[in-house]
Structure 1
């Protein structure tokens, strides 16, 4: 009887040990993927370390210098054309014809926009209309599931009122925060009590200076640069175009925009809309980056300008090509898209696109674009 009890106790012990061993084996088997199973990458807030992937014959590396160029086409009456073929155009880089490898109309790309609003003395009377037009633009253009916008104000300094977001409510609140702040001694009408002090780095912000190129540079490099690659980047600039302060020049602003593939649309507004606007400067920075400049003379035309920008951004074509110049030297390459179809040439079709780009760079330096 005593031996029988020992046998029962020993059997129970073996069963418990076997269950524990079996459970451990199953757990390990579940944690170990099958040799041929597929692996899906996932992103989490605290990712665990990933072991290096060993390369094999099935891994194919693609290293291409494909250049993408967006352009829009207008007839002689400035109506946008939406039906073009690849054979209707040709692309030239630094004087050399290039082979187009892809051509398509782009109407559905996500948008990454930055609205830059000048709040210096020159905008005192028109700022309320600018805010109203900007809010209407946001309401009609932004698709919350695809697009993102930031609001930036500037005088002698640049202020990020709202970082990139798809929330129209947040953007509207940011636009409402953009206000003209009178400098010390300002009595209205562009007059500062006691006269205007000498222009210097120490008193520029006090006298209501305008650092347009600084604002464009920092917006391109710090606001638009982090945007996803497959997005259409653009800056909408509301200003009189008169730069009176800052460490950056117009070429620096253009270079930053081109480097980050940002198109600049300028809306020239002075103290009383059309008065005191530097049209040539605003046209220059817009055309060099592939945008356009608008010069509204009243609130109605201001809203029309915003609407035209919206239409253009949704009515562009994309050309992709691999340049014959394969040097990775960071150099500036001049681009020209020409009409190849004789019938379209007779119709005086005008093409708008950025005038160049910077090649990829293995050394870390880049050249400046030539005027």
Structure 2
């Protein structure tokens, strides 16, 4: 992530506020106690002790990139060293300033659940797997999760919280939303059974709108030094909304959110758009999964959990320090020839947006 870094000699207690969420059609009111910032002590000549997971603040721009590595059998590799990799920005080598294994940073996670007509028969299994995943992953003292359901519009079922009881209730109340006149089995009152021509109008789905607003309004304001991720449960078939796939990718990159796309849907409604789900996952540094049954769905969640526990963090100071708001491509390469021969695959977000110049 880009951080404006200044040399500091003291710590300032962080102030966290529960932000009101704008843009959702139905929002559950969330109230959290906010801590008032502590008074800043007078600087002294004694340098502050920097913990292992602290980022030393200097007067420059820094880019942080999370990544995972897998061998040819898709087993996660957890013993890489800094010398094993190199990083490029717009094809130019960059100097690595920090490298950490198995990052233990706090996690801000959003679970997006498609409740359109194509999810009628798969939704119960999705909800059960999601609850089991959260019970295994969420650390009450570090992590926070939001739950969003969507069809043609998005609903914030639960704002960011580490309270598992609230998260269970939020997921439990997510329900399939039938289109007007729907009587089940793909049949709309007054029409023949849904066909390849009319099935897509039997309930609109604005996937990219939901990802865009989640990235911008929920994950974007998350505290610094926080991993941000989205788990998308959908068939990937976008039928409405103002945002395009590339808009959703751009919003996720700006929020530095990794997207794990879990492609689930009913073959009766055309199945899963693997191309779109794979693209949004790959561009943001996540992975796409296409489970065929409940067992594979739970396995997909298990793999997501394992990846989150096996991430590396790499930081570098871009050689191009221009604040022009431009998109810059990131590439992490293997410098270790043996790892190259072993066909090790590195997964990371494929770029970021530089900060824009401040208006005077």
> Aligned to 2:188, which of 187, 192, 196?
192
2:256 counterpart of 1:258: no
Equivalent positions of 1:304-323 (< 5 A) are: 304-323=299-318
2:336 counterpart of 1:341: yes
Residue 271 (structure 2) aligns with: 276
Displacement of 1:226 in angstroms is: 1.9
Displacement of 1:361 in angstroms is: 1.4
**Helix, strand or coil: the match of 2:216?**
helix
Q: Distance in 1 between matches of 2:233 and 2:298?
A: 12
TM-score by length of 1: 0.80
2:215 counterpart of 1:217: no
Q: Deviations over 1:49-88 (max 9, x none)?
A: 989x9999999x8322110001000000000000001111
**Helix, strand or coil: the match of 1:66?**
strand
Q: Distance in 1 between matches of 2:180 and 2:37?
A: 55
Q: Distance in 2 between matches of 1:41 and 1:67?
A: 22
Q: Conserved in 1, the CA contact under 8 Å of 2:78 and 2:102? A: no
> Aligned to 2:226, which of 228, 231, 240?
231
Ranges of 4+ aligned residues in structure 1 off by more than 4 Å: 38-51, 53-59, 272-275
Residue 83 (structure 1) aligns with: 79
Residue 100 (structure 1) aligns with: 96
**Helix, strand or coil: the match of 2:61?**
coil
Q: Conserved in 1, the CA contact under 8 Å of 2:12 and 2:38? A: no
Displacement of 1:108 in angstroms is: 1.3
The alignment yields a C-alpha RMSD, in angstroms, of 3.0
Residue 247 (structure 1) aligns with: 242
Q: Distance in 2 between matches of 1:236 and 1:273?
A: 24
Q: Distance in 1 between matches of 2:292 and 2:300?
A: 11
Q: Distance in 2 between matches of 1:192 and 1:152?
A: 26
Residue 164 (structure 2) aligns with: 168
Q: Which has the higher helix share?
A: 1
Distance 1:244 1:41, change over 3 A: closer
2:113 counterpart of 1:113: no
Residue 129 (structure 1) aligns with: 125
Residue 24 (structure 2) aligns with: none
Q: Conserved in 1, the CA contact under 8 Å of 2:260 and 2:304? A: yes
**Equivalent residues, number:** 319
Q: Distance in 2 between matches of 1:234 and 1:351?
A: 18
Q: Distance in 2 between matches of 1:58 and 1:100?
A: 28
Distance 1:143 1:41, change over 3 A: closer
Displacement of 1:330 in angstroms is: 0.7
Distance 1:273 1:346, change over 3 A: farther
Distance 1:181 1:111, change over 3 A: same
- Range with greater deviation from structure 2 (184-193 or 349-358): 184-193
> Aligned to 1:361, which of 348, 353, 356?
356
Q: Distance in 2 between matches of 1:143 and 1:47?
A: 24
For structure 2, list consecutive stretches of 5 or more residues without a partner in the other structure: 1-8, 16-32, 48-56, 193-198
Equivalent positions of 1:58-77 (< 5 A) are: 62-77=58-73
Residue 182 (structure 1) aligns with: 178
Structure label with greater radius of gyration? 1
Distance 1:94 1:306, change over 3 A: same
Displacement of 1:275 in angstroms is: 6.1
Distance 1:215 1:46, change over 3 A: closer
**Helix, strand or coil: the match of 2:155?**
strand
Q: Distance in 1 between matches of 2:74 and 2:156?
A: 34
TM-score by length of 2: 0.82
For structure 1, list consecutive stretches of 5 or more residues without a partner in the other structure: 1-37, 197-203, 365-371
